[in-house]
Amino acid sequence: MIDKKKLRREYSYGSLDQSELEVSPYLQFVKWFKEAEAEELVDVSAMSLATCGAQGKPSVRIVLLKHFDESGFCWYSDYESFKGRHLSENEWCEILFYWKELERQIRISGRATKLSSEESDSYFNERPLESRAAAISSRQSRPVESRSILEERFEAEIARSEKAQLERPERWGGYRLIPEHYEFWQGREGRLHDRFRFASHNGKWKTERLQP
């Protein structure tokens, strides 16, 4: 057995009081996101995405937040990937941002919906050539016999791009998580962390402090 019970560290970066919260969880997210950007953290837009399919078996992975507003938080993926299949069976999901340097995390849960074809086309066409070629040549989450097969498909798409624009595959596009719950966590000394949950209720946000 590998014993890590003695691993300890204190959380002393800051605190979070209810009087400091913004009037809406979206504005609080924007505030913290901008502060994380100002610190020039690596992969500030990286978020864990948790999904659960019809069999009730959860799965989590890192994806990148691409754009957001009050209506929701958006990322892009292959609809036929493992997470895509999960979301087709169960639209409920959760995203988690963890910024170690600021000793902060934000959880956001709700329902995921597909973005429109126009939105997905627009983003796909903004991507670098290599990213577009990779999305076309890779059938995400499916087995492949060797890396060389992937590279051959990729190089074929790069070559094809010299004659025609690479178009978005129908199996690839965006999702928007429509928030129903937010939770903001600020690490504190002695493990008495600050936690606040925002829950949507009849079109309004209810705020409450949670015990750590």
For 77-102, the pLDDT digits (tens) are: 999 999 999 999 999 999 999 999 99
- From 191, 195, 197, 209, the catalytic residue: 191
Determine whether 9 is an active site residue.
no
Report whether 66 contacts 39 (CB < 8 A).
no
With 0.95 as the threshold, say if the pTM is over it. Answer: no
> What letters, b where the CB count within 10 A reaches 16 and e where it falls short, cover 36-50?
beeeeeeebbebebb
pLDDT in tens, 20-60: 999 999 999 999 999 999 999 999 999 999 999 999 999 99
